[in-house]
Amino acid sequence: MSCLASCCASLTCGLCSSVASGISKKSARLAYCGLFGLSLIVSWILREVGINTSDGDTRTKEWYQIQAVLRVSLGNFLFFGILSLIMIGIKDQNDKRDSWHHGGWCAKIIIWALLVVLMFFLPNVVISIYVGCYLAAFTFSGILFIWFNPSGHDCGLNVFFIVMTMILAFVFAVIALNPSVNGSLLPASVISVYCAYVCYTALSSEPHDYVCNGLHNKSKAVTISTLVLGMLTTVLSVLYSALRAGSSTTFLSPPSSPKSAGKKPLLEGEDVEEGTENKKDIEGRPVSYSYSFFHLIFALASMYSAMLLSGWTSSSESSDLIDVGWTSVWVRICSQWVTAGLYIWTLVAPLLFPDREFF
């Protein structure tokens, strides 16, 4: 199949470069649409002729057909994804990257063909990734049983947290594989791994004198790692969340922001009578986001960082430990449940409310 893909790509390379170079002078978008249409044609051809090229392989013809379509699509995705990253931040045609967008079609066609061909040499690891994520989630849950459920002690709460994590991973897979749900196994497996990690961080935040905390004998090493890595990640995550949420125009935007401009007519009746120029000079340009909400996010981030660094105001824990105590445990566990609830909601909401649009 790789040889067949190479032939298709090489035959179309010369045709595309000559046609695209002429069309792109008038419209680069038309040339890119043509290249995308060509990729669809190549996918269709390979799907129709995708046969087993190995006598010892027992896979069906349908399997090869699906693989051909997926691999051409992956090469196409990488090509346009790389271009998208390169073109970030272009504001005018004086930017050198503008010429990259409109020209260099011979090189771009060659790169596109190489990406498509190289995809056929990749091993079949897509399903392995799904299975690996789920195996990692359940294996990690088993390790948590060993660390946080020592023999000879009644650790029912820890067992409840770990079992609930495993149940959530199973529920994610069941819902994602339901034919009526527009879900995928890869996001479900990744969310499962994340929930297992959150469960671990919650259990490791238990007081180090708690008999069910299997890491209390290694408190010295945990303290040093938490002090360095935990502090860094916490500061970066808080700053990123505050900046992103504070500068967002999709939530609590002011009525005069560009986000809400489409809800008002371009010209009011008074503007036509009195003239728009004088009115614009008096009112000034509208702000693009809510200043109040921006500062509110930083205020909430300040309170969160205070609780985090003070161990949720628990004086019983060592000052060298960050985010340790029963309050921290329940905050992390609740955040895991909220994450699971939000992910499940994104899967079932379109079914419960078919008349609404979800993005």
Give mean pLDDT in consecutive 10-residue pieces for the chain, a chain of 359 residues. Answer: 52 53 60 82 76 58 74 82 80 76 85 87 66 75 79 82 91 84 79 89 81 66 53 62 55 48 49 50 54 62 62 55 74 91 89 75
83-136 confidence digits (pLDDT tens): 888 888 777 777 777 788 778 888 888 998 998 888 888 776 655 666 677 677
Exposure string of 271-296, with b = 16+ CB inside 10 Å and e = fewer, is: eeeeeeeeeeeeeeeeeebbeebbee
Q: What is the model's pLDDT at position 222?
A: 47
Task: Provide the number of structural domains found in the chain.
Answer: 3
136 and 155 both lie in a single domain? yes
pTM of the model: 0.52
194 and 279 both lie in a single domain? no
Compute the distance between CA of residue 252 and CA of residue 239 in angstroms, rounded to an integer.
20
- Given 64, 98, 124, the domain boundary residue is 124
116 and 140 both lie in a single domain? no
Residue with tokens 């699971």: 340
- Given 288, 312, 335, the domain boundary residue is 288
* CA nearest to 72, candidates 42, 108, 37, 49: 42
323 and 268 both lie in a single domain? no
* CA nearest to 70, candidates 125, 138, 14, 7: 125
83 and 204 both lie in a single domain? no
297 and 160 both lie in a single domain? yes
Residue with tokens 């994104």: 346
359 within a domain of the structure (yes/no): no
| Residue 258: domain span | 254-288
Q: How many CA atoms lie within 13 A of 262 on its CB side?
A: 1
357 within a domain of the structure (yes/no): no
